[in-house]
Amino acid sequence: MNAPAPPAAASPETEPDALAGFTIGVTATRRREEFCALLERRGARVVQAPAIRLVPLAEDADLLAATRTALAGPVHDVVITTGVGFRGWMAAAEGWGLSAELAAHLASARLLTRGPKARGAVRAAGLNDHWTPATESCEEVKQYLLAQDLRGRRIAVQLHGEPLTGFVGALRGAGAEVIEVPVYRWLPYRDPSPLRRLISQTVSGAVDAVAFTSAPAVLAMLSAARADGLEEALLAAFAGPVVAACVGPVTAAPLQERGVPVVQPERSRLGALARTLARHLPAHGVTRLVAGGHGLEIRGHAVVVDGELKPLPPAPMAVLKRLADKPGHVVARSELRTVLPGGPSRDSAEHAVEMAITRLRRALGPPGIVETVVKRGYRLACERGGAV
């Protein structure tokens, strides 16, 4: 009898500690708890800062007016951008006593769904979807329609919280009559303080990544940063040490338009985004070196010493990172003073550095990793240029 196959080795992104030592900001509102759990399960420290809130328009005059306009004549194409939006539209129509008429009207149209969630909502309503783009992007839907003769066609476009000005303008420019269906809108979150704190943490480098699951959340964070005079500093942080992780191309677009590099999964799913972060941060956000004969992995808010994860407070971590920038070289106390939280201090500056070094040594455990060079400063006990 054949021996049972050995269990498959865990891939890096599924290991339970893949994100241990990293801090990730989460701006999501919908399914926030689910996404945070995916990150925490991999060891991440999560900072929750919802950027927006979803406001249904079930009783809004604009949605009722758009629905009546759609029902007033034949609709040839319906662009469905989100599953939650389509379900909200159908629920609102039911409240107005128009659900049967709307369903019959939609059944005679081509239903173009932006992604699997929108497609699932259409099928759950008992309707047939016509086409879904491989990229799950509005841009591909637009190109699909523009490749056809749109003169005289009536097209309903379900908006997803903000105007699709370029999309709608292109269809109208091609001769279509476009009916915009504003099913819901995004507004800033009621309590802006968590988002403002996350902006400050991002600018200061206190987080390793910020995850975005919708374009309105990106725009809300940029707007809040602009109001505090921090937009350029925030963009610089995303262009530098802090990873901007987006669930898909639609979410990434506002950042990419501003020249910000983004990390995104191949498929626009929360699970895929968590796995992407679990691959990217350990590969790009870790400094590895040997000091005092011990292997060190320096992560966002923790250091792994000989395989053991050891969280560090902000001051010792800032000192360790500066020492690791120059492995084996002496770093003066005056330079270390500049990286302490709060910036350089004139009062008890030497004492603050000594306390940070003492706490760092205590947290690291084994002696001999951080050496004192009398009257000069401190160094990591490794060969010069000793990063591995």
Q: Is the pLDDT of residue 321 over 80?
A: yes
Rounded Cα gap, residues 251 and 248, in angstroms: 5
Which residue would you say has higher pLDDT here, 287 or 78? 78
Which residue, chain included where needed, has tokens 């091609």? 174
Mean of pLDDT values over 156-177: 92
The dihedral over CA atoms of 46, 49, 55, 56, expressed in degrees to the nearest 10, equals 0
What pLDDT is attached to residue 262?
A: 97
What pLDDT is attached to residue 369?
A: 95
Closest CA to 248 of 275, 226, 266: 266
Find all residues with CB under 8 Å of 33, minimum gap 6, and list them: none
Q: Which two tokens stand for residue 373?
A: 């060079």
Q: Is the pLDDT of residue 14 over 60?
A: no
Q: What is the pLDDT of residues 322-354, one digit of tens each?
A: 999 999 999 999 999 988 887 555 556 678 899
Rounded Cα gap, residues 329 and 380, in angstroms: 7
Q: What is the pLDDT of residues 96-108, one digit of tens each?
A: 899 999 999 999 9
368-377: which pairs have CB atoms within 8 A and are 24 or more residues apart?
A: 368/292, 368/293, 369/291, 369/292, 369/294, 369/296, 369/305, 370/291, 370/292, 370/323, 371/292, 373/330, 376/330, 376/332, 377/330, 377/331, 377/332, 377/333, 377/335, 377/336
Closest CA to 204 of 300, 277, 291, 296: 300
What pLDDT is attached to residue 57?
A: 64
pTM for the whole structure: 0.75
What pLDDT is attached to residue 56?
A: 67
- Identity of the amino acid at 234: L
Q: Please answer whether residues 274 and 42 qualify as being in contact, where contact means their C-beta atoms are separated by less than 8 angstroms.
A: yes
Which residue, chain included where needed, has tokens 């400063």? 377
- Average of per-residue pLDDT values in the chain: 89
224 phi, psi to nearest 5 deg: -65, -40
Q: What is the pLDDT of residues 168-221, one digit of tens each?
A: 999 999 999 999 999 877 889 999 999 999 999 999 888 999 999 988 899 999
Q: What is the pLDDT of residues 266-299, one digit of tens each?
A: 888 899 999 999 999 999 888 999 999 999 999 9
Q: What is the pLDDT of residues 28-61, one digit of tens each?
A: 987 889 999 999 999 999 999 999 987 766 557 8
pLDDT band with cut points at 50, 70 and 90 for residue 259: very high
What pLDDT is attached to residue 2?
A: 46
What pLDDT is attached to residue 128?
A: 97
Q: Is the pLDDT of residue 23 over 90?
A: yes
What pLDDT is attached to residue 356?
A: 93
Q: What is the pLDDT of residues 233-245, one digit of tens each?
A: 999 999 999 999 9
Mean of pLDDT values over 9-26: 76
What is the 3 state secondary structure string of the chain? CCCCCCCCCCCHHHCCCCCCCCEEEECCCCCHHHHHHHHHCCCCEEEECCCEEEEECCCCHHHHHHHHHHHCCCCCEEEECCHHHHHHHHHHHHHCCCHHHHHHHHHCCEEEECCHHHHHHHHHCCCCCCECCCCCCHHHHHHHHHCCCCCCCEEEEECCECCCHHHHHHHHHCCCEEEEECCEEEEECCCCHHHHHHHHHHHHCCCCEEEECCHHHHHHHHHHHHHCCCHHHHHHHHHCCCEEEECCHHHHHHHHCCCCCEECCCCCCHHHHHHHHHHHHHHHCCEEEEECCEEEEECCCEEEECCEEEECCHHHHHHHHHHHHCCCCCEEHHHHHHHCCCCCCCCCHHHHHHHHHHHHHHHHCCCCCEEEECCCEEEECCCCCCEC
Q: Which two tokens stand for residue 113?
A: 């769904």
Q: What is the pLDDT of residues 112-151, one digit of tens each?
A: 999 998 999 999 999 999 999 998 889 999 999 999 999 9
